[in-house]
Amino acid sequence: FDKNAYIESLVNTSVLILDDLGIERDTSYAKEQVYNIVNSRYLKQKPTIFTTNLSYDTIQNCKDSVEYQRIYSRIIEMCIPVMVVGEDFRKFIQRDKLTRNKDRLLNGGERT
């Protein structure tokens, strides 16, 4: 597996979607790789879509490490923020499973 070739493919693809930004490992190596991808795409003016659970205020006023500040600074310049509001579907699924399993226990283990 050639990591450099993989990173280059992310940098050079026509449109890149980076999902759940901010949950990557908090290591210098991980932050460096994210920065390299974001910065390279920034310099090449390549369209990039970021999703995150971080608030715009958190990104804009980052108090974390300098590495995160550098990443977020580029993202703010590259992107138009769009806030998507809605219920977390994982919570809905969890509630549904809890209800079904509770019913199953109350009915002697039979599937409902």
Query: 3-class SS at 12?
Result: helix
Span 61-100, pLDDT tens digits = 988 889 899 999 999 999 999 988 888 888 889 999 999 8
Shared-domain flag, residues 99 and 51: no
Query: CA 71 to CA 33: how far, in whole Å?
Result: 10
Mean pLDDT of all residues in the chain? 90
Q: State how many domains the chain has.
A: 2
pTM: 0.73
- Structural domain that includes position 44: 3-81
Q: What CATH number has the domain bearing residue 67? A: 3.40.50.300
Q: Could you give the angle at which helices 66-78 and 28-44 cross, rounded to 10 degrees?
A: 30
